[in-house]
Amino acid sequence: MKSSRIRVFLVDDHPLVREWLGNLLRLQPDLDVCGEAGDPTAALAAIIDRPPDIAVVDLSLKQGSGLDLIKALRLQAPGVRILVLSMHEEISDIERAFRAGALGYVMKRESTGQIVGAICQVHAGKFYADAAVLTALAERSLSRLPGSAAATPESLSD
């Protein structure tokens, strides 16, 4: 019988963040932290070996790119849903994370309770971001409709 607990894998290059987040998530009765890594190579190998339900990924990693990890996970572990937890607040970074395959985005400045709700929503297959981010993403999308201003460099590619 499969466990009803959501299996979460943490990817952040700061041990303190992984420890803090792991401890927070272990307090939740429906969440199980099944692994963690500090770099994309170790994370990808571990996730492919034992796929979790959710991977919580930081975009800024010392030994690689969280964005590249998200893209690799989409190809090599397509059943794993991805939630970004990052200090990056620029809408272009957030948009690129969603385009790469993330289903959710939480900024590190947000309250700790928000991450638990985000994990549950992403696990359910829904997109997650706070209201201000969703509004900014919608405005960017609408500005790209035919007849709107020319595309910006960040809208063209990664």
- pLDDT given at position 137: 82
Residue 21 pLDDT class (50, 70, 90 cuts)? very high
Average pLDDT, the chain: 89
In tens, the pLDDT along 37-88 reads 999 999 999 999 999 999 999 999 988 999 999 999 999 999 999 999 999 8
Which pLDDT score, from 0 to 100, does residue 1 have?
Answer: 44
Which string of DSSP letters, residue by residue, matches the chain?
----SEEEEEE-S-HHHHHHHHHHHHTSTTEEEEEEESSHHHHHHHHHHS--SEEEE-SEETTEEHHHHHHHHHHH-TT-EEEEEES---HHHHHHHHHHT-SEEEETTS-HHHHHHHHHHHHTT--B--HHHHHHHHHHHHHTSTTSPPPPHHHH--
135, 122 in Cβ contact below 8 A? Answer: no
Q: What percent of the chain has pLDDT over 90?
A: 70
User: Average of pLDDT values for 14-31?
Assistant: 95
Give mean pLDDT, residues 100-126.
93
In this predicted structure, the answer to whether residue 150 has a pLDDT above a threshold of 60 is no
Residue with tokens 């405005």: 139
Q: What percent of the chain has pLDDT over 70?
A: 89
Residue 154 has pLDDT above 80, yes or no: no
